[in-house]
Structure 1
Amino acid sequence: MVAYLDYAATAPMHPAAKAALVAAVDQIGNPGSIHTHGQHARRALERARASIAASLGAEPVETILTSGGTESDNTAIQGLWHARNRDAERPRIITTAIEHNAVLDTVAWMRDHHGAEVVIVPVDTTGVIDLDALERELDDRTALVAMLHVNNEIGTVQPVRSVAKLANAAGVPVHIDAVASYGSLPVSLHEWGVTSVAVSAHKVGGPVGIGALALRRGTKLDPLIHGGGQQYGLRSGTQNMAGAVAFGAVAELIADEQWLAEHAARVRERRDRMIEIVRQAVPDATLTGADPDALLNDSGVEVPARVPGNAHFLFPGCQGDSLVYLLDMAGVSVSTGSACHAGIPEASHAVIGCGYQNEQALGALRMTVGEQTSDDELETFAKVLPEAYERARKAGFSYREV
C-alpha cells in the first residue's frame, strides 16, 4: 500500500473538476470572440468566474483568473506597489520572515529592481504575526502589507481581520496569499476587509495552471501582463476557459459553508490521527505551529489556529530530506517544505523565523492530508515511520544556514 501525504503540494483532482474539465476541453471557441462558438465559451467562463468569486467572498467583476497562486501574488504585490507609488512616495512593503517564496522573492525583486523598502515584522514561536509591531510599522510611506493567511509549511493561521483593521486605519492595502487555506477554511475578500486575495486551483482538487486573484472593486493596480486587454486590462491573454470551468466546479462546493465545515472536520480527523502516529513513533519529535485544538481570536471572530490538514514536525538528530527519501522508498510521499540547492539541504526559513535553531529546522517534515486520505494510507505511514526515522537518524545531517 502506498500513501500520499502531500496534499499541500498538490491535491488529487476532484471528480467534479475532472468531469467538468473533460466536457470543457471539447468546447470550441475563444471566449474573446464575438461569434456563437466564442460566446458559448464566454458564458461557460463567466459561470465559472461567478462560482470562484462566491468562494472568495468577492464579486465576479472583482475576480481575475490567473495561472495560479504565484502569478496572483506577483500581480498584486507588483501592481499595488507601482500604482501606489505613482502619486506619492510609498516605497515600503511590510511582510514577515515566514512567507511563501511567491511573496518573499517578489518583494525581494521589487527591492532590488525598483527600490522598494522591505519591512519584516516578527512572528511568535507558533508563527503568528506580532500585531503591535505591525501597527508601529504602518505609516504613510507604506505601499502595502503582503502576507499568508495560513503558512504553507507549519499550518498556522494568521489574524487577517486584525491585520486589515490596523492597515485600513493607516490607509494601507493588504494582500493575502490564501493558497494554503482555501478549500479548508473560509476565505472572504470582503469579510476580511482586505484589498486582494490569491488562490490556486490545484491545491483544492482543480487542475494545475489556473488560479485567481480577488481584487477589491475600485483598487488601482498596474497590470503585470500586457496585451489584448482581457479581464478589464488587468490580466491580458486568452483566458483558460476549460481550466476555469474545472476550477469553478470545485469552487462551487467550497462556496457552500456547510460543505466546507463538514469537509474540514473530516480532514481534521485524519490530521489528528497522523499527529498521533508521529508522537507514538517518535516521542521526541516537536510539532511546530499552532496547537491543533486551539482557536485564534481574530478581531472578535474565533477561527481555527491551525489549518485542518497540516502536521509539521521537527525530528531530532536527522535530516528531513533523508526522511523524505526513506519514506518515499517505503511508499509514503511527504515533504520537507523547504528548499534544497545543489544537493545541500537548507534549513526552512519559516521554521527559523519562528525562533528554532538551524540544526532543529533541518529535521523538518511536513505531512498533509485531505478528505481522500484513507485509513490504509495512514496505517502504512504508521508502519514505516519508525524504521525510516531510525535510519535517517543514523545517517546524521549537514546543513546550509539560511
Structure 2
Amino acid sequence: MSGRVYLDWNATTPLRPEARAAMIEAMDLVGNPSSVHAEGRAAKGLLERARAGIAEAFGAEPDEVVLTSGATEAAALALRGRNRVGAPVEHDCVLGWIDACLPVTAEGRVEVAEPGRTALQAANSETGIVQELPPGLALVDAAQVAGKLPFAFGWTGARAALIAPHKFGGPKGIGALLLRRGEEVEPLQRGGGQELGRRAGTENLIGAAGFAAAARAAVADLARGIWEEVAETRNILERALEDGNSETIFVGKGSARLPNTLALVTPGWKGETQVMAMDLAGFAVSAGSACSSGKVKASRTLTAMGYEPEVAAAMLRVSIGPGVEREAVLAFADAWKKSHSRARRRRMSETSPERVVGEV
C-alpha cells in the first residue's frame, strides 16, 4: 500500500461530502439569525431547519436541541452545579463535573444505583464497550454511539444527552445538548438570549448546517447496514492480530462493542511506543488518554476495569469507519506484527542476552 491510513475515527472522523456541501452553501448567507430583515430571516430559517434535522436524526424534538461549541461545553451546561455521579471510564468532559465515582466491573460495565443522579456514557471511546442505559439517567454521553449505532433520545428516558458531530463525519467546533422539555440549565454565558436563553452568542450557522447534513447521512448509512460491514472489517483485523499471538489481550472481546473499535493490550510494550511505530509505518492510531502536555498516561478506563497501571499503559486503540478497506487493516496488522516481533526481541535481549545471540 502507498500513502497514510487513518485508523483513529473515535478521535475524529473525515468530513462527509454532504456536510462539506451544506457548509459551503451556508457560507453564502449574509444574515444574522437574530436579525428581523429578510437576510436575517433566511439565516434563521436555515438554522431552524438544521435544528429540526438534528432532532429528527436523534429522536428528539427541535426545541430540545441546544447547539453548543461541542460535547465538552454541552456537558458543562448540563452538569455544572449539579450533584451527579459517574464512573472513572467517563470522558474527561463529564468526569470533571462528577461528585462521586461508581464501580466498574472487569468487563467494563458501570454499576448504576441511582439513574436520576447518574451521567453515563453510551459507549467507551477507548474500548468500544457499550453500556446498558437504565431509564431516567441524568445524562447520556452519546458522542461515540450517535451515527454508529441506533440512538434516539426519546428511547432513553434520560433528561439530557451529548452529541458530537465530528464523530460521525460532521464539523468540529459544534455540538449539541439534547435537553428534555421542562429541564432547566444555568447558562454558562449570557448575552442575546439565543438558544431559548440557554446559550447566548451568535449561532454557528455554518457548523449547524454541516451538523444536520452529517446527521442525516449517518442515519441513512445505519439503515443501509454500512456499520455491519465496518464491524466485519474490524473482526478481520482482530483475527489477523490474534493469529499466532498469545501475548496480546483484546479488551472487550465477547462484549457488546462499537462496531468500529478494537482495543488491544500487549504487556511490556507501551501504547505510546506502538503509536509512534505505527505512525512511522504510515498508520494513525491512538493509545490511552492524552493529557495537555502531550504525554500518554495509563488508560484510566483499563485501570478502572482492574488492569494494573503498567498493563493499562500498554493499550493501543484502532478505530475505523466506512470506506476503510480490508486491505488497509490487513496492511496495518502486518506492520503491527512486525513491530511487535521486534519489540519482543528487544525485551528478551534486555532480560536474557544469551538467548538471542545471533538473532536479528
What's the TM-score once normalised by structure 2's chain length?
0.90
1:60 aligns with 2:24: no
Q: CA offsets per residue over residues 235-284 of structure 1, 9 Å max, x none?
A: 1110011111111111123345x734612212111211121122126332
CA distance in 2, matches of 1:371, 1:121: 34
1:197 aligns with 2:161: yes
- Deviation of the 1:340 alpha carbon: 4.9
Distance change >3 Å, CA 323–CA 27, structure 1 → 2: same
Look up the equivalent residue of 1:357 and give its one-letter code. Answer: E
> Mapping of 1:21-60 within 5 angstroms?
21-60=23-62
CA distance in 2, matches of 1:13, 1:279: 32
Distance change >3 Å, CA 6–CA 268, structure 1 → 2: same
SS across alignment from 1:365: strand
Map of 2:354 onto structure 1: none
1:272 aligns with 2:235: yes
Map of 1:355 onto structure 2: 306
Kept in 1, the 8 Å contact 2:288–2:296? The answer is no
Kept in 1, the 8 Å contact 2:8–2:284? The answer is yes
Map of 1:147 onto structure 2: 120
> Mapping of 1:140-289 within 5 angstroms?
144-160=117-133, 162=134, 164=135, 168=136, 174-256=138-220, 259-260=222-223, 262-280=225-243, 282-289=245-252
Q: CA offsets per residue over residues 330-377 of structure 1, 9 Å max, x none?
A: 001100032356575421110100111112111100000000212332
> Mapping of 1:121-140 within 5 angstroms?
121-131=102-112, 134-135=113-114
Map of 2:350 onto structure 1: none
CA distance in 2, matches of 1:177, 1:36: 38
1:6 aligns with 2:32: no
Distance change >3 Å, CA 343–CA 267, structure 1 → 2: closer
Look up the equivalent residue of 2:37 and give its one-letter code. Answer: H
- Deviation of the 1:125 alpha carbon: 1.2
CA distance in 2, matches of 1:58, 1:395: 54
Q: Could you tell me which runs of 5 or more consecutive residues in structure 1 were left unpaired when the two chains were aligned.
A: 82-91, 108-117, 295-304, 397-402
CA distance in 1, matches of 2:264, 2:185: 39
SS across alignment from 2:97: helix
CA distance in 2, matches of 1:266, 1:40: 40
CA distance in 2, matches of 1:146, 1:395: 44
CA distance in 1, matches of 2:291, 2:194: 38
Look up the equivalent residue of 2:119 and give its one-letter code. Answer: A
SS across alignment from 1:232: helix
Distance change >3 Å, CA 276–CA 202, structure 1 → 2: same
Distance change >3 Å, CA 38–CA 130, structure 1 → 2: same
Q: CA RMSD, aligned part only?
A: 1.9
Kept in 2, the 8 Å contact 1:281–1:382? The answer is no
Map of 2:84 onto structure 1: 93
CA distance in 2, matches of 1:63, 1:255: 17
Kept in 1, the 8 Å contact 2:147–2:222? The answer is no
Kept in 1, the 8 Å contact 2:148–2:222? The answer is no
Q: Could you tell me which runs of 5 or more consecutive residues in structure 2 were left unpaired when the two chains were aligned.
A: 348-360
CA distance in 2, matches of 1:290, 1:330: 26
- Deviation of the 1:382 alpha carbon: 2.1
CA distance in 1, matches of 2:267, 2:243: 15
CA distance in 2, matches of 1:366, 1:281: 20
CA distance in 1, matches of 2:213, 2:297: 38
> Mapping of 1:301-316 within 5 angstroms?
305-316=256-267
Distance change >3 Å, CA 368–CA 344, structure 1 → 2: closer
Kept in 2, the 8 Å contact 1:314–1:363? The answer is yes
Distance change >3 Å, CA 341–CA 56, structure 1 → 2: closer
Identity percentage of aligned residues? 36
SS across alignment from 1:71: helix
Distance change >3 Å, CA 267–CA 236, structure 1 → 2: same
Look up the equivalent residue of 1:230 and give its one-letter code. Answer: Q
SS across alignment from 1:19: helix
Q: CA offsets per residue over residues 37-74 of structure 1, 9 Å max, x none?
A: 11111111111111111122100000011111111111
Distance change >3 Å, CA 14–CA 345, structure 1 → 2: closer
- Deviation of the 1:387 alpha carbon: 2.0
CA distance in 2, matches of 1:342, 1:53: 37
